[in-house]
Amino acid sequence: MRLLIVGKLDGQLGNASAIAVKNGARVTHATDAQTALETLRSRGADLLMVDVALDIKAIAAQLKSEHFSIPIVACGIGTEARAAAQAIRDGAKEYIPLPPDAELIAAVLEAVADENDTFIVRDAVTRQVVQLAEQVAPSEASILITGESGTGKEVFARLVHRKSNRAKQTFVSVNCAAIPENLLESELFGHEKGAFTGAVARRIGKFEEADGGTLLLDEVSEMDIRLQAKLLRAIQEREIDRVGGARPVKVNIRIIATSNRDLAEEVKKGTFREDLLFRLNVVNLRVPPLRERPADIEALADYFARKYSDVNAIPFRPLSDGARTLLRAYSWKGNVRELENTLHRAVLLASGDEIGPEAISLPDGTRPQMTAAAEQPQQNDGEMIATGGAPLVGRTVADVERDLIIDTLKHCLGNRTHAANILGISIRTLRNKLNQYQSDGVPVPAPGEGARAAF
């Protein structure tokens, strides 16, 4: 957690800073808004703690204009109700009275740190993805996380970072789909003062901000193909060029990318570079859609029911058996994001001692419809495997291993090295297995053959 404290606060900054450091934050101090902005441009931050006497509205507007997505917490001497309310209206997420309360500051830091890190897994299918993520996390390999929109790809990226050797360093995320094409290059690589209209000062990009840590390129498939060439060079050479810069800048980062598209198909269409795909996809983590993770549906629903009861100061009501059946049966095209919104509405609409099926509704007011698959008996989660959901009972270990190796090789377009990395075996072991399969008459994908898993 990188905390930037802005203001003087009559000597209380030292106490607040000490508490934050004790709770694991790396603290920087800026006496005014202009110094704070200069610090953000040169170092970045995860949270701003700003003196309520400063112009929080102007600070929030400046952050937005320069595309900084950083939460603001206002703080001031004593409990100034009017000033606190105005700070919230001006863009602060919270108000902390000073002198600082250790538990309150710790809670705020924890809330910001946990905002994108909530990780709930109950389903056997998801556990296999988690196991692979934890296995490859300590390596320096680039990872491509694929899956439908809303499945929690960024949550998995943060899991990889927490389990990596870079866990104590910075995790920086940039959404390639949310930033206008003409600004994305500057956002990634930074710019020098005067490099273009509006470049009022030098600003480091996400690559430099993540130096020593992990950089997440969220929805990398949305990046313009011309910028992909510069990204490829940055990954290969471990150096970047700021927009308008005179010399390259060395960076030491681990790259994680996400996409909700089939990048092999994007390569065929000419919208994504094949060489960049291979650089990013050393290891692939496919996050299954929620409809393939029925046990996760219930666990997440319970979590969201409690979360939004607390947020709205409403007594907690458990989900009824009928509501659980309905939730498990729905297809959840929007995945976890759609489930979260649905449970938020259910908490507000429920009456009685439980959240019943009548409180489960879609944004248009209609109730979710059960899928045809819901009419079939549910299989035990432990009898399913992540690659296709085929039942394991009645099959030999050798058969399951063969299918897993062949499917992984297809997924890697026949690339033996990538497949061996994903499977966690040596390239020699993989080749011996493939030679045996070929001797047994089993078709083995040649390099360049295969198909990416659909998502």
The sign of the CA dihedral 277, 279, 280, 281 is positive
Q: Which of 129, 276, 132 is nearest to 217 (CA)?
A: 276
What backbone phi and psi angles, to 5 degrees, belong to 74?
A: -85, 150
436-448 pLDDT tens trace: 888 888 888 887 6
pTM for this structure?
0.67
3-state SS, one letter per residue, for 315-338:
CCCCECHHHHHHHHHCCCCCHHHH
Contact 391, 379 (CB under 8 A): yes
Q: What pLDDT shows up at residue 372?
A: 45
Q: What pLDDT shows up at residue 113?
A: 61
The band of 414, judged by pLDDT with boundaries at 50, 70 and 90, is confident
Residue 387 has pLDDT above 50, yes or no: no
Domains in the chain, please, with CATH?
Answer: 2-114 (3.40.50.2300), 124-286 (3.40.50.300), 292-372 (1.10.8.60), 394-455 (1.10.10.60)
C-alpha 258: how far from chain center: 8
DSSP assignment letter at 99: S
What backbone phi and psi angles, to 5 degrees, belong to 438?
A: -65, -40
DSSP assignment letter at 272: S
Q: Which of 245, 151, 153, 264 is nearest to 207 (CA)?
A: 245
- The string over 146-165, giving b where at least 16 C-beta atoms fall within 10 Å of a residue's C-beta and e elsewhere, is bbbbbbbbbbbbbbbbbbbe
Q: What pLDDT shows up at residue 377?
A: 42
Contact 323, 357 (CB under 8 A): yes
Q: What is the C-alpha to C-alpha distance for residues 219 and 205, in angstroms, rounded to an integer?
A: 18
Q: What pLDDT shows up at residue 332?
A: 93
Bridge partners of 285, per DSSP, are 145
Q: Which amino acid does the sequence have at 298?
A: E
Q: Which amino acid does the sequence have at 377?
A: P
Q: Which of 130, 116, 133 is nearest to 218 (CA)?
A: 116
